Amino acid sequence: MGPGSEATAVSVVVSGSDLTIDEVVRVSRQAEHVDLSDEAVRRMQASRDVVERALVEGTEVYGLSTGVGVLKRDPAPSDGAALSEFNRRMVEMHRTAQGPPVPDDVVRAAMLRLANHFALGAPGVRHELARLLVDALNDGPTPAVRMLGSVGQSDLMMTADLAHDLLHRTGFALAAGEALALLNNNAVSTGWAALAMHDARRVAEAMEVAGALSLEAFAANLSLLHGAIADLRPYPGLRASLARIRSLLDGSGLWEPGAARNLQDPLTFRSLPQLQGALRDALAFAEDRLDIELNASQGNPIVVPEEGRVVSVANFEVAPLAQALDLVRIALAPALTSAGERVVKLLERPWSGLPTGLVDESVSGSGDAGLGYLGIAMQSIVAEARLLAQPVSFEMASSAHAEGIEDRATMAPLAARRLAEMVALAERVVAIELVVGTQAADLRGGTLGRGTSDARARVRESVPFLAAGALVAPDLEPLVAIVRAGIPTD
């Protein structure tokens, strides 16, 4: 289809101003069709006209009429073929990424984010370059992009891989400034962040399900869910978590007088809504920053059509995004640590009042560990996840590189990647807590809440009750897949 054309198959229309996390997920993982809006095409054309006038007038503009970085004093060629080659070589010179490949869904997310960046008009590229990305999303194989080597003041090395693959495959000839526009952006970091944040929101909701089931398994005191808590401590996330956990436990026998075993339970049970609420608030803050970043200028220079100027800026400085991603990992760490501690306490008689390992000792006799060793696996996974919470956005780059000009680093690619890795570990933490909580709840008996009863049924679809003498299911991946897809609770 031509630029801006509409069709019934179009699901995501790139306009430069209203891309959402949900749209990034749908295009990246479900291969929904993409197109450019007519208004975006007109905007890009108007910005490109400013660029072309600056070139004709001989205005010195970084990356358009000059080289980049330490080559900023070198003039760019003025004729068409040599200028196109100059831009092609600029891409190739930046191809110093290392390591394993970036996942395909992340590359697709980066391509969509980059197309939206171009559609904003600020980079001053031709609309045909944005169309190249859109067509590749709709029809082409996913480019190969390597993971390591970018510090987040643009995702230079990864975007160079992306640009190289697209240009090599299509033979597209770059015009003045288009190599820099392809390189000088944070599309990979932002796309990766969108996918990781989507997954983090989903796993946070699953953690509330598993936590609620653990409350029933422990026969916890539900005073921890009293309605006055959020009135006296009015955090939005806390209010939402309290409401969600109460809903999951609607109809539970724990609401009956005398059902609780303790006046006060261990903090990892009693603080469940506070920790989950803090995570919800961190996610909301980061999602707000990400909504801005998905539609913001991330390059240098920018075109200001109203002034007819091309201006050097530092819009590749994505400190707000990198810092927000750090915050989410920091908030996720104590919630995961508490999940691990709840599992250990459910597995031990002194805390839970249930048989150690959660198997009937009167039947099994000695030497049956039951689910006990799942506690060790849980501690290992939680420890690894917690180590990923270390902030990275304060990292300092060498001030000697590029004559001392490139002396800042956000490490945004690492911030997004570590969140994705942490969420993947969190999915396994949730799966283990669900298995242990379900076994403990089955042993204890009593009436489960409507939401936790649904969760128990989903667990039992892939993990049977562990009878005395039976071995623990060695593979929890089917349950992890359920967690990853989202646990239905009604």
pLDDT tens track for 377-417: 999 999 999 999 999 999 876 666 666 677 788 999 999 99
CA distances from 193 to 87, 381, 428 (A): 29, 22, 20
Q: Distance between CA 308 and CA 50 in Å, rounded?
A: 6
Extract the runs of DSSP E, i.e. beta strands, from 105-202: 146-148
Query: Mean pLDDT across the stretch 241-247?
Result: 98
CA–CA distance, 289 with 383 (Å, rounded to integer): 28
- Residue 8: its pLDDT value, please? 43
Nearest to 434 by CA among 374, 353, 394: 374
Q: Tell which wins on pLDDT, 354 or 474.
A: 354
The Cα-based distances of 448 to 11, 160, 219 in angstroms read 41, 54, 11
Is the pLDDT at 1 greater than 70? The verdict is no
Interior/surface letters 344-368, b for 16+ CB within 10 angstroms, e for the rest: bbbbbeebbebbbbbbeeeebeeeb
Query: Model-level pTM greater than 0.85?
Result: yes
- E strand segments, 281-361: 302-304, 309-311
Residue 5: predicted pLDDT: 40
Looking at the chain, the whole-number percentage of residues with pLDDT higher than 70 is 93
Instruction: Supply angle C-alpha 402, 408, 409, rounded to 5.
Output: 115
Orientation angle between helical segments 187-218 and 319-347, nearest 10 degrees: 20
- Give the burial class of 251: count Cβ atoms within 10 A of its Cβ; 0-12 exposed, 13-18 middle, 19 or more buried: middle
pLDDT at 344 over 60: yes
Separation CA 247–CA 261 (nearest Å): 21
pLDDT higher than threshold 80 for residue 83:
yes
Q: What is the mean pLDDT of residues 20-31?
A: 97
The arithmetic mean of pLDDT across residues 167-194, rounded, is 96
**pLDDT for the residue 79:** 77
